Amino acid sequence: MSTGRESWRLLLKSKSGLIGLIITGLIVALIVASVIGVLPYDPITQHAASRMQPPSAAHWFGTDRFGRDIFARVAAGVANSALIAVVAVTFATIVGTAAGLVGGFFRGASDAAISGVTNVLFAFPPLLLALSLASVFTRNWFTIAVAIAVVYIPIFIRVTRGPVLTLREIDFVRAARATGQSRWRIMVAHVLPNITSIIIVQVTLSLSWAVLTEASLSFLGLGTPPPAPSLGSMVYEARTLLTLAPWTMLAPGAVMVLFVVGLNLLGDGVRDALDPQSRGRK
Amino acid sequence: MSVLTHPITRRVASAFGTLLGVAVLVFIMLRAIPGDQIIAQFGIETGDMTPAQIAALREYYGLDKSLFAQFFSWIGGLFQGNLGFSARAHLSVSELSANSLPVTIELAVLTIVLSLLIGVPLGMLSASKRDSIRDGFGQLVGLAGLSIPSFLLGSALLGWASAKFSYNPNGKAFVTLLENPWLNIQQMAMPALVLAFGIAAPIMRTTRTAVLEVRSLDFVRTAKAKGVPPRRLQYRHVLGNALVPIVTMTGLQFGYLLGGAIVVEQIFSLPGIGRQVLIGIEQKEYAVVQSTVLVIALGFVLVNLLTDVVYRLIDPRVRAA
C-alpha cells in the first residue's frame, strides 16, 4: 500500500485517473451550480410558449414538451442521482465493511450468519433486488438509496472479509494479540487501516453502478417520483419524441454516460494507484 | 472422498440453504408491504367487498394464523407448485412463468453467444499487444459497454430503427420460436444485441486479464522455446488456460440476465419473466411479484451452481483439490 500523497501522485499520473478526475470534476461543478441555484431556469416550471425548442444560446440543451429547460433538468437530475448514489454507497460501505470485518475477524457463528445473509442477497440479480425492494417501500429518494444500498452490501462484505481472513493470521496482528489488546481494538486499529485501500477502490467503482441502477429504476418508473427530474425518467419520456426532438433523449443520455465514464475511469485510476498488484492489469 | 464430503455435494447443500434464505427474505418482503395482504392480493377490488367477505378471505388465505404458520404453509404450497394466482391474467403464476421463462432463456442464450463472439476476440486482440492502439481500442469499447446503460441504447436503437426504416418487429405481437422462427429471431435480435453490448464488456476485460496473466507464466515461455507454432500457442496453450475465469464470468452474466433483462424486455415488449415482475408491480399483484422473484432467484442460484460445477470440471487444479 502506498501513502496518501504517493497515491495522489500515482492517480494524477495515470491517464485514466486524470481524465476520470476531470470529467467527475465537471459533473460535480454542474451539480453545485444546480444545487445553489445559479442556473437561469427552474427545472420544474413549465413554459407553454417555449415547448420543444432545439438547443440554442438561451436553452443550451433545448426544451422539453412542457417547455422546461433541459439543461436545468439534466443538472437537477444528475444532482439527484449523485445524492442517491452517494447515500447508497456510503450506507453499503459502512454496513458491508463492518459485517465483513466482524465475520472475517471473529469467525465462528457470526461469520456463518453473515456469510449466509451474503449468499442470500447474492442470489438475486442486482437490478431485480433493487426493484423488488423499491416496490415495497413508499418511494422517495431515501428509500431508493436504501434499496440500492442493500444490493451493494454483500459486495462490500465479500471484498473485506477475504483480506481480513488473511490479515488476522499475519504476524503483526498476532503480536498485537499477544500484547493483550482487546480484539475490537485490534480489529479497528490494526486490521481496518490495512483494508482501506481495497474499500476505497470498491467505493469508486460502486458509485458508477449505483448511478446506473438509479437511472434504470427511474426509467422503469420505480425511481424518484415526478415532477423531480431524473435522468432515467427523462430518457423514458423522450422515447416518443426521438424523431421530433432528439435532444430530449441525447442530452440526459450523454450527461449520464459521461458521468458514469468519469466514475469508471476514476475507479480504474484509483485502483491502479492504490493496488500495485493490479497496476496495468485491469 | 465420500459422496457426502465431496465439494460438489457441499456446494449443492449450501445452494439449498441459500434458497431457503431467499424464500424467507421474499416472505418478509411480501409481509412488509404497507397495507393489508388482502388488498395486496386483490387490489382495488377490495373496496367492493363487505367486512365479512374480507374476514372470510383472511381465513381462507390463513392470514389469521401466526406468521410462523403462514410461512410454512406458503413454503408447503411452493413445494406443491402453488405459486399463487394472477387475477388479472386469469392464470396461475406457474402457468405465467411457464410461458415467460422460455422467452427470457432464449434471449439470455442469444445474448451470451453474441457477447462471447464480441468479448473474447476483442479481449484477445487487446491482450495481443499491451498498451498499443488496438489495446486502447479494445479498452475503449469495454468502457463504453460498461458505461452506456441498456435502457438508453435500447430506446435509441428502437426509436432510430422505427423512425428511419419503419422497422419495428417488436411492434407486432410476440411469437415464439416454434410459431414463427423468422419473426421470432427478428424480435429477439435487437434486444439481444443491446444486452450483448453491455455483457461483452466484462467478458472482454476478463479475457484480456486472463490472457495477459497466462502469457506471463513459465509454461508458455517453455512452449515458445520448444517451437510451438504461434497460432497453436495462442489458442491451445494460452486461451485454453485462460478459459476458467472466462467461463466463470460468462456463467455469472447468464445468471444476471435472468433478472437483469427486465429493462430490455420492457423496451422491446418481450413477454419474459422480468416483464412479468414489472407488470405485477404495476398492477399491484404482489403475490405474482414475489413468486416470480423467487422463480428468478431459483434460476440464478441454479446457474451459479452449474457454473461452479463446470469450473471444477475444466480446471484440473480445482478437480484435484
Q: Give the CATH number, domain containing residue B163.
A: 1.10.3720.10
B182-186, Cβ contacts within 8 angstroms, sequence gap of 24 or more? none
pLDDT score, position B71: 78
By mean pLDDT, which of A137-146, A245-254, B34-43 is the weakest? B34-43
Tell me which residue range forms the domain holding B28.
7-92
Query: Based on the domain organization, do B101 and B77 belong to the same domain?
Result: no
**Percent of chain B whose predicted confidence (pLDDT) is above 70:** 91
Residue of B nearest to A267 (CA): B143
Query: Based on the domain organization, do B16 and B52 belong to the same domain?
Result: yes
| Residue finishing a domain among B92, B111, B139 | B92
| Cell representation of residue A72 | 436545468
| Residue finishing a domain among B73, B92, B111 | B92
CA atoms within 13 A on the CB side of B185: 2
pLDDT score, position A154: 92
What is the rounded distance in angstroms from the CA atom of residue A211 to the CA atom of residue B119? 24
State phi, psi for A63 to the nearest 5 degrees.
-125, 160
Can you tell me the mean pLDDT for B19-45?
72
- Does residue B163 carry a pLDDT above 90? no
Residue of A nearest to B21 (CA): A120
pLDDT tens for each residue of B273-307: 999 988 888 877 777 887 888 888 888 888 888 88
> For residue B307, which residues of chain A lie inside 8 Å, CB to CB?
none
Nearest-10 crossing angle of helices A70-106, A247-274: 30
Q: Are A27 and A266 a contacting pair, CB within 8 Å?
A: no
Query: Based on the domain organization, do B175 and B236 belong to the same domain?
Result: yes
Query: Based on the domain organization, do B206 and B285 belong to the same domain?
Result: yes
pLDDT score, position A101: 92
What is the rounded distance in angstroms from the CA atom of residue A27 to the CA atom of residue A77? 11
What is the rounded distance in angstroms from the CA atom of residue B276 to the CA atom of residue B280? 6
> For residue B149, which residues of chain A lie inside 8 Å, CB to CB?
212, 215-216, 219, 256-257, 260
Can you tell me the mean pLDDT for A263-274?
86
Residue of A nearest to B302 (CA): A123
| Residue finishing a domain among B37, B71, B92 | B92
Query: Based on the domain organization, do B193 and B169 belong to the same domain?
Result: yes
pLDDT score, position B191: 94
- Does residue B210 carry a pLDDT above 50? yes
pLDDT score, position A123: 84
Can you tell me the mean pLDDT for A64-85?
86
pLDDT score, position A263: 92
Report ipTM (2 d.p.): 0.85
What is the rounded distance in angstroms from the CA atom of residue A68 to the CA atom of residue B293? 38
Question: Is B205–A117 a contact, with Cβ atoms under 8 angstroms apart?
Answer: no
Per-residue pLDDT band at A157 (split at 50, 70, 90): very high
Question: Is B259–A282 a contact, with Cβ atoms under 8 angstroms apart?
Answer: no
- Does residue A279 carry a pLDDT above 60? no
Can you tell me the mean pLDDT for A63-88?
87
What is the rounded distance in angstroms from the CA atom of residue B276 to the CA atom of residue B99? 10
Per-residue pLDDT band at B38 (split at 50, 70, 90): low
Please name the member of B152, B293, B301 whose beta carbon is closest to the beta carbon of A235.
B152
Q: Quickly name the fold that domain A14-33+68-276 has.
A: MetI-like fold (1.10.3720)
pLDDT score, position A259: 94
> For residue B304, which residues of chain A lie inside 8 Å, CB to CB?
123
For residue A9, what are the CA distances in angstroms to A12, A205, A261, B156, B222?
5, 20, 21, 40, 39
The larger pLDDT score, comparing residue A65 to residue A170, is at: A170
Residue of A nearest to B273 (CA): A128
What is the rounded distance in angstroms from the CA atom of residue A20 to the CA atom of residue B160? 30
pLDDT score, position B61: 66
Chain A nearest C-alpha distance from B280 (Å): 10
Per-residue pLDDT band at A282 (split at 50, 70, 90): very low
Query: Based on the domain organization, do B82 and B193 belong to the same domain?
Result: no
Please name the member of A232, A265, A282 whose beta carbon is closest to the beta carbon of B209.
A282
The larger pLDDT score, comparing residue B68 to residue B141, is at: B141
* Average pLDDT of every residue of chain A: 85
* Average pLDDT of every residue of chain B: 83
Three-state DSSP at A63 gives strand
Please give the DSSP secondary-structure letter assigned to residue B92.
E
**Percent of chain A whose predicted confidence (pLDDT) is above 70:** 96
Q: Are A87 and A142 a contacting pair, CB within 8 Å?
A: yes
Please give the DSSP secondary-structure letter assigned to residue A69.
B
Highest mean pLDDT among A172-181, A249-258, B48-57: A249-258
Per-residue pLDDT band at A280 (split at 50, 70, 90): very low
What is the rounded distance in angstroms from the CA atom of residue B61 to the CA atom of residue B85? 12
- Does residue B160 carry a pLDDT above 80? yes
Per-residue pLDDT band at B44 (split at 50, 70, 90): low
- Does residue A255 carry a pLDDT above 80? yes
Question: Is B289–A127 a contact, with Cβ atoms under 8 angstroms apart?
Answer: no
Look-up: residue for cell 495515470? A14
pLDDT tens for each residue of B256-267: 888 778 899 999
Query: Based on the domain organization, do B167 and B34 belong to the same domain?
Result: no
pLDDT score, position A215: 93
Query: Based on the domain organization, do B180 and B269 belong to the same domain?
Result: yes
- Does residue A50 carry a pLDDT above 90? no
Query: Based on the domain organization, do B264 and B188 belong to the same domain?
Result: yes
Residue B2 domain-assigned (yes or no): no
Question: Is B159–A243 a contact, with Cβ atoms under 8 angstroms apart?
Answer: yes
pLDDT score, position A28: 92
| Cell representation of residue B234 | 495462442
The larger pLDDT score, comparing residue B187 to residue B163, is at: B187
Can you tell me the mean pLDDT for B21-46?
71
Query: Based on the domain organization, do B26 and B136 belong to the same domain?
Result: no
Query: Based on the domain organization, do B181 and B37 belong to the same domain?
Result: no
Query: Based on the domain organization, do B270 and B233 belong to the same domain?
Result: yes
By mean pLDDT, which of A69-78, A189-198, B109-118, B164-173 is the weakest? B164-173
Can you tell me the mean pLDDT for B150-154?
92
- Does residue B26 carry a pLDDT above 50? yes
Residue B1 domain-assigned (yes or no): no
What is the rounded distance in angstroms from the CA atom of residue B294 to the CA atom of residue B290? 6
Tell me how many domains chain B contains: 2
What is the rounded distance in angstroms from the CA atom of residue B275 to the CA atom of residue B264? 9
Indicate the pTM of the whole model: 0.86
pLDDT score, position B318: 63
